Amino acid sequence: MPIPVNISASTGAAILGASRYDTAINQWLRIMESRQPGFCEKNGYELPVFEESAATRFGSAFESAIIGLAEAKQGHKIGFREAEYKIAIDDDRNAITCHIDGKYDDPGYTLHEAKTTNYFAWLNNFIRGVDGEPDRVPVEYLIQANHQMLCTGADKVILSVLVFPKRQQEWEDEGIVIDDHESIGDMIISIYRDGIFKARVNPLVWAHTLNDMGFFHQYDIIANQKLQELMLEKYEQFWRENIIGGNVPDFQDFSDVRAIVRDPVGTIVLEGDSALLAKEAQQIAREEKILKARKDHLKTAICQVAYDSENTIDDDSKDKWIFRDEYGAKLASRTAQRFTWAKAKD
């Protein structure tokens, strides 16, 4: 009998085709490989490998700190950390499951979910609801929360988000890294300068500092019965057609194509709408080539002006050229390695 497999809250959005970071095909490959070891090699597929990143390292290190901030803000303790819940899919012990970050001890049934992000991602993806409108969070978090409520019967998830002023990878590049620290049995922030160790800081200290600076936020996600019914329907369809039926899910991005079709051979005749898609892509490629040539010409012309200019202000441009318009708005910059355009404002 194949090994039982679970559809977890963290993979639900990918299976539904609503994740920015993963795809249904990646989840399908992982599940099929776990049920039938050697499945990917036998069929010539590429098994996706989880790659740890600065974002995941910082997220793990700050889990306990976020718990403390959330408890203080809500006035309720959080228990049942990493408790597992499941709903059976079939008679073979396959299930829809979740491990919750925790549950508040309030009179209702409120779950705690913790996330970390950087300021730029937070600014673009989180919106506080006003005048009775619900808070808006990234769609994968909305699905994850409703998946958890589907499994547990909870009616609300409070999503706690700790925002870092910089991207986590930038911090690591600067020598601010996450280490396992045996003496405290937890993760610690180690700070290095030019490869030389300088200091250690407990993530709890940083979390409280960020909270004082206004970088900790909470968002209410209320159970959505219609969304949960749709999710359950899609999960069951995925299980029936793709897992039990063995059918490859539709491609969502080009990484899916590379994972499934590793040695493409043959001539494919495109007709009708398919041919139009290919011709549209050809036209875009031509336009991109023209635009790239034009952009290179503009960069060269601007740098010529800079080279010839006697009107240079050095207050904020000690190691690069910075180009501004007459009103002070930044337009571009050029270091020894690269030319960068400032983000255009609407």
For residue 184, the model assigns a pLDDT of: 47
Letter for the amino acid at 234?
Answer: K
Tokens coding 76: 């309720």
**How do residues 195-246 score in pLDDT, each as one tens digit?**
899 999 999 999 999 999 999 999 999 999 999 999 999 999 999 999 999 9
- DSSP assigned state of 136: B
**Distance, CA of 22 to chain centre:** 9
Helix, strand, or coil (residue 21): coil
**Distance, CA of 275 to chain centre:** 34
Phi, psi of 111 (to 5 degrees): -95, 150
Nearest to 15 by CA among 25, 24, 7: 24
**Which residues, listed in sequence order, are joined to residue 179 by a DSSP beta bridge?**
188
| Average of per-residue pLDDT across 265-276 | 92
Residue 3 has pLDDT above 60, yes or no: no
CA distances to 67, 116, 233, 286 from 112, rounded to whole Å, are 8, 14, 25, 50
- DSSP assigned state of 345: P
Tokens coding 229: 């019914």
**How do residues 147-194 score in pLDDT, each as one tens digit?**
999 999 999 999 999 999 999 999 999 999 998 765 444 788 999 988
**How do residues 190-209 score in pLDDT, each as one tens digit?**
999 888 999 999 999 999 99
> What span, in angstroms and rounded, lies between the C-alpha atoms of 153 and 85?
10
**DSSP codes, 62-116:** THHHHHHHHHHHHTS-EE-TT-EEEEE-STTS-EEEEE-SEEE-SSS-EEEEEEE
Report CA dihedral (206, 168, 57, 235) to the nearest 10 degrees.
120
> Is the whole-model pTM more than 0.85?
no
**How do residues 71-90 score in pLDDT, each as one tens digit?**
999 999 999 999 999 988 77
Q: What percent of the chain has pLDDT over 90?
A: 71
Q: What angle do CA 319, 322, 324 make, to 5 degrees?
A: 160
Write down the CATH number for the domain with range 6-259: 3.90.320.10
> What span, in angstroms and rounded, lies between the C-alpha atoms of 163 and 274?
43
Residue 346 has pLDDT above 80, yes or no: no
Q: Where are the domains of the chain?
A: 6-259, 266-308, 312-346
**How do residues 271-308 score in pLDDT, each as one tens digit?**
999 999 999 999 999 999 999 999 999 999 999 988 88
Helix 54-61 vs helix 63-74: crossing angle, to nearest 10 = 50
